[in-house]
Copies of this chain bind each other. A is one copy, B any other.
Amino acid sequence: MATGRTHRPATRSRGIPEATVARLPLYLRALTALSERSVPTVSSEELAAAAGVNSAKLRKDFSYLGSYGTRGVGYDVEYLVYQISRELGLTQDWPVVIVGIGNLGAALANYGGFASRGFRVAALIDADPAMAGKPVAGIPVQHTDDLEKIIDDNGVSIGVIATPAGAAQQVCDRLVAAGVTSILNFAPTVLSVPDGVDVRKVDLSIELQILAFHEQRKAGEEATGESEAVVRAPKDSGKGPDGDVPAVMPA
């Protein structure tokens, strides 16, 4: 994205294709589950099934990292967990700030998966003075005025934007100016950033629209097609206002 993904054209980072990088976290998750069940080794076929991909693709992906498998046996789970973690840079701790503590921002702050993989919520930042000092997920919210100082003091290089769309670009500019070089954007806006800064976006609205497209297509085929399956018939409604509200977007 991804789907999502902001233009990183032909920049195959250190020879590892972008598509492969995007799948490594998937493998890592499956491997971690196996590790917790104390499974010692796993074949490409099994692991591929668990990760929901083709086994040939998985093997090719791993081949970019090196030859970590044993022919006739499979992959050592623990070893592979370590190798992938290292490749993804998860052996170190990444402090993260979340800007915009509304419904979504608070949900993100409460998300347990943060700490699990080397990410740590270093600070929560919001523009509303009334929020300042109020603890969310055990972390006191700080005011936007101190953004630069917070970034600097904590050595933050990854920022999460969960503000309304109108504020996103401005927040983004300040984050970048303060030294942030990776941004995860939940606001429904296209952010423009200088070279060297990575942006990934997560947009609920876009995801739903893509699903709607396919849904419509299915309905259309069904109508013209053979089997007269049950056609879903949604009622129509007045169009709602176009919210400038924080959102959730996909890579």
Contacts and interface: CB of A to CB of B under 8 A. Distances in A.
A94 interface: yes
A1 interface: yes
Interface string A171-190: 00000000101111010101
Interface residues of A, number: 105
B111 A103 contact: yes
A133 to B, nearest CB: 21
A39 interface: no
Contacts of A2: 1-5, 22, 250-251
B248 A111 contact: yes
A52 B113 contact: no
A98 B12 CA distance: 38
Nearest to A240: B115
B210 A196 contact: no
A83 interface: no
Interface stretch (A124-132, A139-147, A229-237): A229-237
Nearest to A236: B93
Interface string A198-239: 101111111111111111111010000000001011111101
A61 to B, nearest CB: 13
Interface of A: 1-7, 13-14, 21-22, 24-26, 28-30, 32, 36, 50-53, 87-90, 92-96, 102-104, 106-108, 110-120, 154-158, 179, 181-184, 186, 188, 190, 192, 196, 198, 200-218, 220, 230, 232-237, 239-251
